[in-house]
Amino acid sequence: MQKIHYIYIIYQMKLKREYKTALIVLVALSLFIWGFNYLKSKDIFKSYNTYYTILDNVEGIVQSTPVTLKGIQIGTIEQLEFYNGIEQTMLVLNIDSHYHFAKDSKVKIYGGNIMGGKSVAIIPGKESLMAKDGDTLVVMKMPGMFDLVNDKITPLQNKLERILTATDTLLWGINNVLNPQTQKALSSSIENMSAMMKQLKLTTGKFNDVMIQNREHLNATMANLDKMTGNFASLSDSLQQIKLQKVVRQINQTVSKLNESLDKLNKGQGTMAKLMNDEKLYNNLERSTKELEQLLKDLREHPKRYVHFSVWGRKDN
């Protein structure tokens, strides 16, 4: 009886050991699964919806790349695989089921850092119908920072290459021009220019000395010039006023005389007034003028009627 009891106790101990081993294995397996999903940024205690998007190239996107909605991470890239043979690629997005967005929402691929990675974001749509698990979303690829920089650098690179080519040509031409004879002439010109600069410096120093020595005389001369200028200005103003007064006075006199003449004409005084106002005198004058014209015409046509010339002197008839 005691032997049977002893065997039962041993069996119980072995059974407890197996339970402990199984429990340890289960805990370790659970921790492994949890850690693996944690590294994939996936919480095993949450439910997720799966969405798909098709694009030509997934360069810069890796598995577990975060997917954001207005800057908040709502999921990750679950898988990358070929679609339609190898012509296109498909992204599998694992999104937390608590987040909902319209069916016409788009997947934006943007960015690009130093390591070449890109970011993925959901751009919400405006439809009232919500996207469901398993739907395919339209992709919207945006140029990254390095793409923009490359677009800006490429024209600059072309310009720089042209400048370098032109500089190389210029230097080649300078090397051909600057032969030993030209270099000698250039060196001589530089030496002459240096001597001229020294001479100019000496001349400037002497001029400064002269100016310093005659500073008082120069100041006095400038003061006299200022005084003469002021006097000349005053004299010019006086002369101008005198001439202006004289001209005004003469104009007034002329206007007075003109007014007197007009008054006489209006009153009929003087020859001019009579000519203007006496019609009979005007007619007589016009008739006399016509007779004078006829006389002059007859004189031109028959001068012998009025003038007699004789080479041998006058003869008495």
Asked if residue 82 and residue 19 are part of one domain, the reply reads no
Question: In 3-state terms, what secondary structure has residue 104?
Answer: coil
Residue 274 sits at the vertex; the CA angle it makes with 271 and 278, to the nearest 5 degrees, is: 155
* Res 271 pLDDT > 70: no
pLDDT at 134: 92
Q: How far apart are CA 170 and CA 182, in angstroms?
A: 17
Asked if residue 109 and residue 35 are part of one domain, the reply reads no
Asked if residue 112 and residue 35 are part of one domain, the reply reads no
Please indicate, yes or no, if residue 306 is contained in any of the structural domains. Answer: no
Asked if residue 29 and residue 11 are part of one domain, the reply reads yes
Please indicate, yes or no, if residue 77 is contained in any of the structural domains. Answer: yes
pLDDT at 236: 67
Q: How far apart are CA 101 and CA 67, in angstroms?
A: 13
Asked if residue 138 and residue 77 are part of one domain, the reply reads yes
Domain finish residue from 112, 142, 172? 142
All residues at 6 or more sequence positions from 15 whose CB lies less than 8 Å from its CB, including other chains = none
Asked if residue 120 and residue 50 are part of one domain, the reply reads yes
Domain finish residue from 123, 142, 161? 142
Asked if residue 123 and residue 57 are part of one domain, the reply reads yes
Q: How many domains does the chain have?
A: 2
* DSSP of 239-295: HHHHHHHHHHHHHHHHHHHHHHHHHHHHHT-HHHHHHHH-HHHHHHHHHHHHHHHHH
Provide mean pLDDT across the span 190-204.
Answer: 86
Tell me which residue range forms the domain holding 13: 1-39
All residues at 6 or more sequence positions from 73 whose CB lies less than 8 Å from its CB, including other chains = 41, 66, 67
pTM of the model: 0.39
pLDDT at 67: 92
Question: In 3-state terms, what secondary structure has residue 79?
Answer: strand
Chain segment 92-105, per-residue pLDDT in tens = 999 999 999 999 99
The counts of H helices and E strands in the chain are: 6, 7
Chain segment 33-55, per-residue pLDDT in tens = 666 665 655 566 678 899 999 98
Q: How far apart are CA 28 and CA 266, in angstroms?
A: 140
